[in-house]
């Protein structure tokens, strides 16, 4: 096993870039993995921050991979489709979460094939509408990785949400603000010096400003996905229109727990049967 190496799911945004920077202080080699599939564009955008990381910490510290996951993502979307429709209804429209699940499945395979025992991710509590950013879904991911001898961590999870309130408005966070005494994170005002990933990157000299989320620079650093629109329609105009955030979170965790556990059986098949497994046949080299 390559004990002093880690894989990082890398979108090139502030959360994953700070994750990579923090890992540079702990590991000799960080594999930055950006995934590509239908509906994504500008998948080479993360190279902007790959270069910044290499300039600061050394070129040999980071290895950048773009991995296609079109076939695997389709499989994750439609696995047990009718059964999931009956049990979970329109939660099959939580496209962003299913896309990220496909990325995690592929990351397990990447780590097993390359004997890398560590994975880290830029999940952040401030983006808690997204399934992969919810603490209980993250726990399910952690259990999945542990099953295959891989340690999974989220080093920027407790950083505060976007400081730019206009960015939060575009995500309609005001619709899910917690009731009095709740503990869900909320956006910070412009005047508050929040402990955000953008601020930390600015302090490290990796960003020109501490508040880049939602800006033109932010858009140039990351791949773009038009299916994100469908996710927003489902969350804001369908589910949260008639449910509380707690109900949304509980239903989301229930759905992804089922999906992760079902897909784990396919990873077991990959481990046991290699090239004869369904997962192997879905890999795009």
pLDDT value for 162: 61
- Which is more confidently placed, 131 or 173? 131
In whole numbers, what is the pLDDT of the chain averaged over residues?
89
Q: Tell me which DSSP letter residue 210 carries.
A: S
Q: Residue range 147-166: average pLDDT?
A: 82
Which CATH architecture does the domain made up of 5-274 adopt? Answer: 3-Layer(aba) Sandwich (3.40)
Is pLDDT at 130 greater than 60 in this prediction? yes
End-to-end CA distance of the chain: 22
- Listed by start position, the domains of the chain span 5-274
Is pLDDT at 173 greater than 70 in this prediction? no
Mind listing the pLDDT tens digit for each residue in 186-219? 344 444 467 899 999 999 999 999 888 778 888 8
Contacts of 230 (CB under 8 A, 6+ apart): 93, 95
| 70-78 vs 95-114: helix crossing angle, rounded to 10 | 130
pLDDT classification of 18: cutoffs 50, 70, 90 = very high
Mind listing the pLDDT tens digit for each residue in 107-127? 999 999 999 999 999 999 988
CA dist list (Å): 54 to 110, 123, 206, 222: 22, 22, 11, 17
């Amino acid at each position: 096993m390559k004990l002093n190496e880690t894989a990082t799911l890398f979108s090139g945004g502030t959360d994953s870039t700070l994750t990579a920077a923090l890992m540079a202080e702990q590991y000799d080699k960080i594999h930055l993995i950006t995934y590509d599939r239908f509906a994504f564009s500008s998948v080479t955008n993360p190279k902007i921050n790959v270069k910044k990381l290499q300039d600061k910490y050394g070129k040999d510290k980071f290895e950048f991979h773009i991995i296609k996951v079109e076939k695997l993502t389709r499989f994750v979307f439609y696995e047990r489709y009718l059964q999931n429709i009956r049990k979970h209804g329109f939660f099959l429209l939580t496209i962003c979460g299913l896309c990220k699940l496909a990325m995690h499945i592929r990351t397990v395979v990447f780590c097993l094939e390359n004997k890398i025992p560590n994975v880290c991710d830029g999940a952040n509590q401030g983006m808690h509408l997204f399934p992969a950013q919810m603490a209980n879904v993250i726990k399910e991911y952690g259990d999945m990785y542990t099953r295959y001898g891989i340690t999974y961590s989220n080093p920027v999870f407790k950083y505060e949400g976007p400081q730019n309130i206009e960015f939060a408005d575009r995500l309609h966070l005001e619709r899910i603000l917690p009731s009095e005494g709740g503990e869900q994170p909320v956006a910070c005002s412009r005047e508050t010096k929040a402990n955000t990933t953008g601020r930390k990157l600015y302090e490290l000299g990796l960003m020109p400003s501490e508040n880049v989320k939602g800006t033109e620079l932010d858009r140039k650093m990351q791949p773009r996905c038009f299916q994100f629109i469908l996710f927003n329609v489902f969350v804001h105009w369908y589910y949260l229109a008639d449910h509380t955030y707690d109900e949304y979170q509980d239903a989301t965790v229930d759905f992804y727990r089922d999906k992760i556990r079902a897909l784990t059986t396919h990873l077991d098949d990959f481990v046991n049967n290699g090239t004869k497994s369904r997962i192997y046949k879905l890999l795009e080299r």
